[in-house]
Structures are given as C-alpha cells and as structure tokens.
Amino acid sequence: MARPRPALVLASTSPRRRDLLTQIGAVPADIRAPDIDENPHKGELPLPYAQRMASEKARAVAREDGEVVLAGDTVVALGRRILPKADSEAEVARFLRMLSGRRHRVYSAISVIDADGGQRTRCATSQVRFKRLSEEEIASYSSSGEGIGKAGGYAIQGSAAGLIDFLSGSHSGVVGLPLFETRALLKAAGLPLA
C-alpha cells in the first residue's frame, strides 16, 4: 500500500515565506506560529544562531507523524554582530548607518522535519552591500516603515532594493527563504515538487 502524501506545515506566519513557497509549488496545509525564545545565547555567532532558530522553530510546531514541517530563520550580520528585527524608525536608521557602504552577510537557515520525525537543517549565506547612503536616503527609508520588523532593518523585496549595489548568494534567502535549499530538503522529505 502506498504511503499517503505528507502534509506540509509551515512554522511561520510570514507572508513572504508563503509567497516564496508557492514559487516552487509547495502549498502549506497548515501554518503554525512557533512560540520560542529568539534571543541569541551569550557569545553565539550568527550562523549557528540562525541554524538553531530554524531547528527550534520546526520542533516547536511539530505535532504528529505524517507531517513535513518547514521552518526558517533569517539573520543579518555585520561581522560577528547580529542585527535583530528593527522595532522602530530610529533603529532602522541606526542599522542603515551601520550598513551604509559596507558588505554584510545574511544567513537564511531552514529546517525540515520529515514525516518520520527526522530533521535536517541547511543554511544559505549571502553577501549584501548597500551603497553609501546619504542622511536623506536613510531618513526617507526609515520613515517609510518598510524596515520595521525586518532583520537588519530592511526588506530587499521592497524599495531597499534600489539602495543595494551588490548581492552575492540567494536573493530569495535574503527575502526570507532560500528556495534552492528549501526545494531540496522538501523533496528529500517526500514532498512531490516539480
């Protein structure tokens, strides 16, 4: 007897992640918001932090065998420093001043729990550079509200794209879900994707 097709559960309420999943033909049967402590551990570096967050988010919403759970976490890092989600216009402006004219890394980790409970985690690393930003550009972007709630204080899928002069790596990863790695893990977990 053939095993039933597993149901995909997305451990994220991010509309960007849902939209990105549709690009690879993956439609979640359920969406669950993970409730975990997202504070970095003392001395935790950006890459291990991103991987831990994705893994913990997946485990936090996994409920039963037969489901495939997908979780992601995107971390913006300037050197060893993690730039969290900006919570105000002032923080967006502060982050943009820090990132202006400099390269930074974006770690986009994904974790998949397969229908048998096995878990795999991968991470796409991208390098991004903003042009040298004027105070007027910083003020304009900050006041738009687009960067509030976004890691590092910006959304590459929005107007910030016009301020970025270099990107190496996964554009979808910087948005919030690296599609190449996601597709590979979901296929390995038994989801039939084109």
What amino acid positions are annotated as catalytic residues? 73
CA 96 vs. chain centroid, Å, equals 19
189: tokens are: 């977990």
Percentages helix, strand, coil for the chain (3-state, rounded to 5) are 35, 25, 40
147: tokens are: 């960067």
Q: Are 53 and 73 in contact (CB under 8 A)?
A: yes
Measured CA distances, 106 to 33, 47, 73, 155, 158 (Å): 22, 9, 10, 12, 16
User: Could you tell me where the DSSP H helices lie in 11-160?
Assistant: 15-23, 46-61, 89-99, 135-144
What φ, ψ does residue 58 adopt, rounded to 5°? -60, -45
What is the tally of helices (H) and strands (E) in the chain?
Answer: 6, 7
